[in-house]
Amino acid sequence: MPDPAYFVGETRTQLISFIMKSKYIPYSLLLLSATGLIACEDHRDSPNAPFPERIEFVAERQYPEGIAYSSQLAKFLVTSIPLGKIGTVATDGRYQDLLTDPGFIAGIGMKVAGDRVFVCNSDQGRSVRSTPATTRQLAELLVFNLNTRQLERRTDLDALLPEAEPNFANDVTLAPDGTAYVTDSFSPVIYKVTPNGAPSILLRDNVRFASMTFGLNGIVYHPNNFLIVANTGQGKLFKVDLANGNAVSEIIVANTSPVANSLPGDGLTLFNNDLYVVTGGNRVAQVRTADNWQTASVVKYDASGYVGATTSVAVNAQVYTLNARIGQTGNDQNFSIQRFR
C-alpha cells in the first residue's frame, strides 16, 4: 500500500526476471476455526478502553505500512518497509520489536487472527534486505506465531505468475473459514490461500485491476461473502462476489472530492457496516452504502492529523489509522496512530 511517491527514482517499467522462483514452502499450521477468525480479526473489542485519540511512537526508520491489533498482547502491531520486521506499539506509545525472519524483506499489509499474524512480504527495492532477484518480484504471505515468535509458514505467490511479470503482495484479508485473500499492486490479480497454505489465483482482471502506476491495494472481506478491493491508480473500488463466480463490479462512490466519483484508496477497514478508506495519504473517508455495496457515498472525510497515512484497524469501537510517513525517504523515527473523528 505504499504511495508511489515513496519510491521516487525507481524505474517502474523495468521487470527483473528470476531464473528460478521459490516454491511454496510448507510449515505446520493448525487450521483456524471460523469462530476464532470472526472473533479475532481486527480485534474490535479490546479490554483496554479507553484509548487515546492519538498515539505517538518512536521507531527508527520503521516506515510502518501495515497495522493490526492483538488482544493477546494488548498492543498494536506495525510492519516495516525498509527493515523487514513487525513491532508492537502500546497505547502509551512504547515501541518494541517483535517478529522478523531472514527472508522477511518488507512488511506490507497485515492481519492478526488469535495467536497468528498474517503479513504480506514484498520488495520494491527499498529494504536493507532487497536483492536484484527479489526487487519487484517477491510476493509472499507469511504467518508468524505470537506465542513462539517464529515463522510458521511461508506461501509463495509470485510463482503463480510468469517470471516476466512484476509482483508486489500488498494487503491481506481473512474469511471466517481461514482463507486468506491477497492483492498484487503490480499484476492485476487477487491471490487465494487456503487455511492449509495452498495458493492459487482467485481472479485476474487485466482491465479493472490494472494500473499504469499502483494497482490493487487495500482489501476487506464482507460477511455477505464478497470482497471489496481498492485500485489506487484508477481511483475506484470494486466488489468481488465470491458466491457468484467471483463476479467483479465497480462500486460507484458519490460525494467524493476533489474529483467526482474518484476515491484512490489505500487501506480499507470495514466497521459497523461502513467502509473506512485511507486516501491520498492525508485523510480517511467514511463510506456508506444502502444497497449492499453496489453503490456508496462518502459521508465524512477526516482530514486532520494524517501524514503519509496508509492503513487502519478497527479496535475498541474506533478506527485507528497509521501515519507511516510514506513518501519521506529519510531517517524518520517519529510516527503516530490517529483515531478517526
210 bridge partner residues: none
Distance CA 116, CA 141 (A): 12
Residue the block writes with cell 460507484: 252
Dig out the grid coordinates for 159 from the structure: 510463482
Angle at 226 between CA 276 and CA 210, to 5 degrees: 75
By the 8 A CB rule, do 120 and 110 touch? yes
Mean pLDDT over 160-178 rounds to 97
pTM: predicted TM-score of the whole model, two decimal places: 0.86
Phi-psi region of 105 (alpha: psi -120 to 50; beta: other; left: phi over 0): alpha
Distance CA 339, CA 314 (A): 10
- pLDDT tens digits, one per residue of 39-70: 334 444 455 557 999 999 999 999 999 999 99
- pLDDT tens digits, one per residue of 184-231: 999 999 999 999 999 999 999 999 999 999 999 999 999 999 999 999
Distance CA 57, CA 22 (A): 36
261 bridge partner residues: none
Domains of the chain: 4-8+41-339 (2.120.10.30)
The alpha carbon of residue 324 and the mean position of all alpha carbons in its chain are separated, in whole angstroms, by 13
